């Protein structure tokens, strides 16, 4: 079989398994397996594959066909300027979370050597992006999952970045003051889990997905350590609930930011101690 025929077969297979972007994913998987760029898949379209190349391509395509997230199959994923290791220990960082980092950087614009804490850091995406783009920041990152924290540590090392990692429940035992508390807490309602795509429902850690009241508890806990901003990624249908939580807790400057699809996805508010 030629490379082009293999690419077509992988695309058809992934489409038959219900993968949303079968061509794109087939290109990414074959390019990675064969050590080629996506362009080279086309410039070498008519080249027959060796048996070793065909064997190398088979397993990642099979995994993706089982609806394992592409980021887990590839083993890494880009987030802003970072390439992060990604596997089942933590949620795959999402594009809307890049906008959370934009909000944090905008709110910290005038701050010198700000102290920041990322609650529920997962891969370390938010914490690492902030310290990479704001090198004088002192960044702490917490998670209740030791597996996620191990992955965040690997990502800090791989990217040559320094963050302080703490295993705890939200901000329990963490001492401020912080200029900014940021979090993308679990916010999928348990009634919604069955309707999620298999990539999310069957592969990503449940504890990273399902809302167990973390947002409500964090709004309260953050005020203990904050002299500055709380920035929260939220469920697109819960902006009114979360802004109400911040306002009744005594935060001011409460503001909602939309994602690129126009959905309410980020709530921020300032706590003055
Ligand atoms: C939605 S994921 C976000 C991961 C990462 N911040 C991101 O944006 O890609 C939520 C994270 O919060 C962690 N988490 C859930 N409950 C927690 C709690 N009570 N205390 C600390 N971390 C928690 C999960 O382990 C998971 O890593």
pLDDT, tens digit, 9 for 90 and up, residues 191-202: 999 999 999 999
**Closest-CA residue to 227 (of 159, 157, 180, 163):** 180
Residues within 6 Å of ligand 1 by CB: 90-91, 93, 97, 120-123, 125-126, 142-145, 148, 169-170, 184-186, 207-208, 214
For ligand 1, atom 13: residue with the closest CA: 120
**Closest-CA residue to 2 (of 49, 55, 44):** 49
pTM, two decimals, is 0.97
What's the 119 CA to ligand 1 centre distance in angstroms?
7
**Average pLDDT value for residue range 96-108:** 98
At 34-64, the pLDDT tens digits run 999 999 999 999 999 999 999 999 999 999 9
For ligand 1, atom 19: residue with the closest CA: 169
pLDDT over 70, % of the chain = 100
**Closest-CA residue to 269 (of 224, 225, 230, 235):** 230
257 three-class SS: strand
* Sign of the dihedral defined by the CA atoms of residues 67, 59, 23, 125, in that order: positive
Angle value at C-alpha 206, between 200 and 211, nearest 5 degrees: 105
């Amino acid at each position: 079989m030629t490379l082009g025929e293999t690419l077509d077969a992988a695309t058809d297979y992934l489409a038959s398994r219900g993968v949303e972007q079968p061509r794109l994913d087939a290109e990414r998987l074959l390019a990675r397996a064969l050590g080629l760029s996506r362009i080279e898949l086309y410039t070498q379209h008519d080249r027959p594959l060796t048996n070793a190349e065909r064997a190398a391509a088979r397993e990642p395509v099979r995994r993706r066909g089982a609806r394992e997230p592409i980021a887990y199959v590839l083993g890494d994923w880009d987030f802003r300027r970072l390439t992060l290791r990604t596997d089942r220990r933590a949620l795959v960082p999402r594009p809307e979370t890049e906008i959370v980092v934009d909000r944090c950087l905008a709110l910290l614009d005038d701050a010198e050597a700000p102290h920041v804490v990322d609650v529920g850091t997962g891969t370390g995406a938010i914490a690492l992006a902030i310290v990479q783009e704001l090198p004088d920041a002192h960044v702490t990152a917490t998670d209740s999952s030791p597996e996620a924290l191990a992955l965040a540590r690997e990502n800090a090392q791989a990217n040559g970045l320094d963050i302080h990692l703490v295993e705890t429940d939200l901000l329990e035992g963490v001492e401020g003051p912080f200029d900014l508390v940021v979090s993308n807490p679990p916010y999928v309602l348990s009634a919604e889990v069955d309707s999620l795509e298999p990539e999310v429902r069957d592969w990503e850690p449940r504890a990273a997905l399902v809302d167990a009241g973390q947002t409500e508890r964090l709004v309260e806990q953050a005020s203990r350590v904050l002299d500055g901003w709380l920035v929260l990624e939220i469920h697109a249908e819960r902006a009114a609930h979360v802004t109400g939580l911040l306002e009744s807790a005594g935060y001011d400057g409460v503001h909602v930011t939309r994602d690129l699809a126009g959905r309410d996805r980020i709530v921020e508010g300032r706590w003055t101690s």
